[in-house]
Amino acid sequence: MENNELAYYDKIKNWDFSMIRVEEENLTNWDMYKILNKCANEDSTILDLGTGGGEKVINEFPKVAKILGTDFSCEMIKTANQNLKKSGKNNIEFKVMNNLNMNTPDNYFDIVVARHTCISAEQIFKTLKHNGKLILRGVDKLDCWQLKRLFSKGQAFNDVKPISQIDYENIMDAGFKNVELVPIYIREFYKTKEDLLALLLKTPILDDFSEQRLNNGFRKKELDIEKLDSYIKENTYEKGILLRRMYYGIVADKG
């Protein structure tokens, strides 16, 4: 399963969606970057898990003493280092690391950020300083559920538990305090079919990833364009083609 995911992300290489034309409506008052900016100061050390091509770290993270961004894809980290060189920032480092086999120092980071990636709550707890904070944003099972049901597949489609519940339970069990779980509802309106298709080809929304590592593993399949056209016909509005997103946010303290 891990090898299949690694091959997928090595092929994608980055998460820069700037060329996709989409308008977003956030229905939930929860913003990872506002929380991060409120928690951080100029002396903070931050670990970013699932950093991808580093775009968010470079453009959205606050100015702090040090940021380490990690990803288990070598190709993603190559892209991140290229983006870092263009940015001219000197307080950021990117390196390859498996989130489930972390090699970061114990009691070192003030804040750990995890975005749309698998985690080991116990290892995050270990690498955080006392009174450190975990800020997590994930993609939940019911994300794009209408589209997943139409295709009868997709990320976490066959999982018994929602991904949010799995992460919440694991974070609690690791010893974190003041654990808050917030469902995040977002409407995205894609300008054209090509914009929506670009998203679906660049993300695993309709691919058979499972957070519970089911035996069927990951199988990359071509999209059924007729089904996609059917979805577009039923979900086109004045603003564009609607995609209903469901994420979740978790904030927790290492007491």
Mean pLDDT of the 103-110 span: 98
Q: Which domain holds residue 61?
A: 2-141+157-187+246-253
Interatomic CA distance for residues 133 and 216, integer angstroms: 35
Note every long-range contact of 113-116, with CB atoms under 8 Å and residues 24 or more positions apart, other chains counting.
Answer: 113/32, 113/36, 113/46, 113/47, 113/48, 113/49, 114/48, 114/49, 114/50, 114/138, 115/32, 115/48, 115/49, 115/50, 115/51, 115/56, 116/50
User: Who contacts 36 (Cβ-Cβ below 8 Å, separation ≥6)?
Assistant: 46, 61, 62, 111, 113, 135
Start-end of H helices in the chain? 2-12, 32-39, 55-60, 74-87, 121-127, 145-151, 163-174, 193-202, 225-234
Residue 114 sits in a domain whose CATH number is 3.40.50.150
**From the CA atom positions of the chain, what is the Rg in Å?**
18
Per-residue confidence (pLDDT) for residue 223, from 0 to 100? 80
Would you say residue 146 lies in a domain?
no
Tokens 């891990």 appear where?
2
Would you say residue 220 lies in a domain?
no
Residues in a beta bridge with 70 = 49, 95
Would you say residue 164 lies in a domain?
yes
Per-residue confidence (pLDDT) for residue 237, from 0 to 100? 97
Would you say residue 224 lies in a domain?
no
Mean pLDDT of the 3-26 span: 66
Question: For 13, how many CA atoms within 13 A lie in the half-sphere containing its CB?
Answer: 7
Q: Cβ(249)–Cβ(182) under 8 Å?
A: yes
> pLDDT (tens digit, 9 = 90+) per residue, 125-155?
999 999 999 999 999 999 999 999 999 999 8
Q: Is the pLDDT of residue 184 over 80?
A: yes
Residue 166 three-state SS: helix
Say how many domains are in the chain: 1
Would you say residue 10 lies in a domain?
yes
Phi, psi at residue 58, to the nearest 5°? -70, -40
Residues in a beta bridge with 184 = 247
Q: Would the pTM of this model clear 0.75, i.e. be above it?
A: yes
Would you say residue 72 lies in a domain?
yes
| Token duo for residue 129 | 């300083």
Would you say residue 149 lies in a domain?
no
Note the residue count of the chain: 255
Would you say residue 151 lies in a domain?
no
> pLDDT (tens digit, 9 = 90+) per residue, 44-73?
999 999 998 999 999 999 999 999 999 998
